[in-house]
Amino acid sequence: MLFNSYIFILIFIPLCLLGYFILNSFKQYLPAQCFLLGMSLWFYGYFNYKYLAIIIISIFANYGLYYYIGKFKNTQKAKIFMILGVVFNLAILGFFKYTDFFIDTVNHVFKSNIPLLHILLPLGISFFTFQQISFIIDTYKGEVDKYNFIHYASFVAFFPQLIAGPIVTHDELIGQFRDESKKKIDFDNLTRGIFMFTIGLSKKVLIADVFGSIVSYGYVAPERLTTISAWIVILSYTFQIYFDFSGYCDMAIGLAKMFNIDIPLNFNSPYKSVTITEFWDRWHMTLTRFFTRYVYIPLGGNRKGKVRTYINVFIVFLLSGFWHGAGWTFILWGVMHGIFVIVTRMIKDIIGEKELPKAVKIIGSAFSWIITFIFVNLSWVFFRAESISNALFVLKKAFTFNVGSAGLQVDPIIHGAFKTPEFAEFLALTDLDAIFPNILTWGFLIVSFVIVAFLPNSKKLMDKFKPNALTLIFTIFLFVWSFLSISGVSTFLYFNF
Q: So where are the chain's domains?
A: 6-184, 192-302+356-496
CB 41 within 8 A of CB 52: yes
Predicted local distance difference test score (pLDDT) of residue 489? 61
Q: What's the mean per-residue pLDDT of the chain?
A: 91
pLDDT for the residue numbered 183: 95
Q: Residue 340 — left, alpha, or beta (φ > 0 → left; ψ -120 to 50 → alpha)?
A: alpha
Instruction: Dump pLDDT digits (tens) for 152-180.
Output: 999 999 999 999 889 999 999 999 999 99
Q: Which of these, 311, 268, 301, lies nearest to 286 by C-alpha position?
A: 268
In the predicted structure, residue 394 carries a pLDDT above the cut 70:
yes
Query: Please, what sign has the CA dihedral across residues 394, 399, 400, 403?
Result: positive
**8 A C-beta contact, residue 247 and residue 491:** no
DSSP assigned state of 494: G
For 478, counting Cβ atoms within 10 Å of its Cβ (0-12 exposed, 13-18 middle, 19+ buried), the class is middle
d(CA 82, CA 67): 11
pLDDT (tens digit, 9 = 90+) per residue, 85-108?
999 999 999 999 999 999 999 999
Task: Identify whether 151 is a catalytic site residue.
Answer: no
Q: Give the whole-angstrom CA distance, residue 497 versus residue 493.
A: 8
Nearest Cα neighbor of 256 from 196, 187, 205 is 196
pLDDT at 404 over 60: no
| Long-range contacts of 30-34, Cβ-Cβ distance < 8 Å, separation of 24 or more | 30/150, 32/183, 33/150, 33/151, 33/154, 33/177, 34/150
- Average pLDDT rounded to a whole number, residues 201-225: 92
Region 458-473: mean pLDDT is 89
Q: Which of 151, 170, 284, 324 is catalytic?
A: 324
Is the pLDDT assigned to residue 200 strictly greater than 80?
Answer: yes
The three-class DSSP label of residue 283 is strand
The residue among 188, 126, 155, 166 whose CA lies nearest residue 249 is 166
Q: Which three-class secondary structure state does DSSP give residue 192?
A: helix
pLDDT of residue 423: 80
Residue 376: the pLDDT is: 97
CB hemisphere CA count around 38 (13 angstroms): 11
405: pLDDT strictly greater than 70: no
Phi and psi at 283, nearest 5°, equal: -100, 130
Tell me: the pLDDT tens digits for 265-293? 999 999 999 999 999 999 999 999 999 99
Q: With residue 353 as reference, give the H or E element that holds it.
A: none
Please tell me the distance from the alpha carbon of residue 131 to that of residue 271, in angstroms, as a whole number. Answer: 26
Q: Distance between CA 30 and CA 32 in Å, rounded?
A: 5
What pLDDT is attached to residue 406?
A: 54
Confidence of residue 353 (pLDDT cuts 50, 70, 90): low
Residue 222 near residue 397, CB atoms below 8 Å: yes
Residue 15 confidence (pLDDT) above 90:
yes
* C-alpha distances in Å from residue 491, one per residue of 131, 212, 222: 22, 11, 23
User: What pLDDT band is residue 10 in, cutting at 50, 70 and 90?
Assistant: very high
273: how many CB neighbours lie within 10 A of its CB?
Answer: 20
pTM of this structure: 0.93
Q: Given pLDDT bands bounded at 50, 70 and 90, which one contains residue 416?
A: confident
pLDDT tens digits along 289-323: 999 999 999 999 989 889 999 999 999 999 999 99
pLDDT value at position 479? 95
pLDDT at 408 over 70: no
Going by C-alpha positions, the residue among 160, 229, 250 that lies closest to residue 445 is 229
